[in-house]
């Protein structure tokens, strides 16, 4: 279940309450008149089945509650309630498969901020991977994969493409475009310093590094793993499975490839540099395509359910139009007119 706290202007309270009261997947409905101050209005509390959370929030947005009031949501970890069980039964599907799009948008928006901490994690991850390459220690490569924050902007860029959000796409692209070069530059300077101090084994370039050689040798399995990781990454994001996301980070070779670009450039190894560049480009492209494909399917399923919901009793009670054409034509008069 998802808990909603809705701050509603007084002139819309009745419509919102009727909408929620006539939605079978909603329970524990509470109305607090005049309880809100900033913004001023009434407060309505309710619990909604996770499968219908985005659908109900979409109805509230259609009433412009997000503009004149506010909508807050949080997951309910556990609830002892027969009413909640009945509400869950009315919702189609399983809670574990449900996607709350507002949560996805919030998570991805947070993960794409080009902050000092994001750049620090990128730099640290690439430098740890560079040390792993120089010492041929696979455990350091795995550690660097976990530390790297690059999946957040990749996922956010995919969400932006599906929802056609130019602002999110721009911020995601900037985070990747600055984060990777920053990490590569730091690892390049670190490798050059270690080389100048004579701490790199003299036979490193000649003998290679068998345990980490895969980083600069992309093949068909690199594509397969990146695609599978992209699918798993989106599923972990949309279903809030953070444990699965760790496995995704360990599966992809983006951070190690970036580190190998720096190491190869610092040591003047052109062949390794080209291979690492190819590995990085291949992984980023395959992950992005897998994320786009998975999100597209999930979004289509949601839109199908949303279309079936347009003629629901709750919408009729709230005065919302029953179909797409009427909803678009009457949105200004039906919803905008409620301000009078």
Summarize pLDDT for 205-242 with one digit per residue, the tens: 545 566 677 788 888 888 998 899 889 888 888 886 65
The 10 Å Cβ neighbour count of residue 82 is 8
Considering the chain, what is the average pLDDT of its residues?
A: 86
pLDDT of residue 204: 63
* Mean pLDDT, residues 115-124: 93
Least confident segment among 47-51, 138-142, 234-238, 279-283: 234-238
pLDDT of residue 182: 97
What are 283-303's pLDDT values in tens digits? 999 999 999 999 999 999 999
For the segment 314-324, the average pLDDT, to the nearest whole number, is: 83
User: Does 88 score more than 60 pLDDT?
Assistant: yes
The whole-number average pLDDT for the span 34-43 is 94
Torsion of CA 44, 46, 50, 51, to 10 degrees: -80
| Integer Cα distance of 24 and 55 in angstroms | 13
Which percentage of the chain shows pLDDT scores above 70?
89
Q: Mean pLDDT across the stretch 59-83?
A: 93
Distance CA 50, CA 284 (A): 32
Average pLDDT over residues 169-177: 93
DSSP per-residue letters across 240-305: T-HHHHHHHHHH--HHHHHHHHHHHHHHT-HHHHHHHHHHHHHHHHHHHHHHHHHHHHHHHHHHHH
**How much is the pLDDT for 112?**
79
Higher pLDDT, 44 or 115: 44
């Amino acid at each position: 279940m998802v808990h909603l706290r809705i701050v509603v202007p007084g002139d819309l309270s009745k419509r919102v309450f009727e909408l929620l009261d006539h939605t079978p997947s909603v329970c524990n409905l509470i109305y607090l008149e005049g309880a809100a101050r900033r913004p001023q209005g009434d407060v309505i509390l309710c619990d909604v089945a996770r499968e219908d959370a985005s659908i109900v929030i979409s109805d509230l947005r259609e009433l412009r509650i997000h503009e004149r009031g506010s909508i807050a949501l949080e997951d309910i970890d556990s609830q002892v309630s027969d009413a909640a069980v009945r509400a869950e039964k009315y919702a189609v599907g399983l809670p574990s498969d449900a996607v709350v799009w507002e949560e996805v948008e919030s998570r991805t928006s947070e993960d794409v901020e080009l902050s000092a901490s994001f750049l620090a994690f990128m730099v640290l991850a690439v430098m740890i991977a560079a040390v792993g390459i120089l010492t041929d220690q696979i455990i350091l490569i795995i550690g660097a994969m976990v530390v790297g924050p690059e999946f957040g902007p990749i996922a956010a860029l995919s969400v932006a493409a599906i929802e056609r959000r130019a602002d999110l796409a721009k911020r995601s692209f900037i985070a990747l475009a600055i984060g990777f070069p920053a990490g590569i530059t730091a690892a390049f300077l670190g490798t050059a310093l270690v080389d100048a101090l004579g701490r790199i084994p003299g036979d490193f370039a000649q003998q290679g590094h068998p345990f980490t050689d895969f980083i600069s040798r992309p093949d068909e399995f690199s594509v397969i793993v990146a695609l599978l990781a992209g699918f798993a990454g989106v599923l972990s994001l949309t279903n809030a499975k953070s444990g699965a996301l760790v496995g995704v980070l360990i599966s992809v070779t983006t951070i190690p490839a970036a580190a190998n670009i720096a190491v190869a450039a610092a040591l003047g190894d052109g062949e390794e540099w080209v291979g690492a560049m190819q590995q990085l480009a291949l992984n980023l492209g395959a992950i992005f395509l897998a994320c786009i494909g998975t999100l597209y399917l999930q979004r289509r399923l949601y839109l199908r359910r949303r279309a079936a919901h347009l003629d629901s009793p709750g919408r009729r009670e709230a005065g919302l139009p029953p179909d797409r054409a009427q909803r678009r034509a009457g949105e200004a008069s039906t919803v905008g007119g409620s301000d009078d």
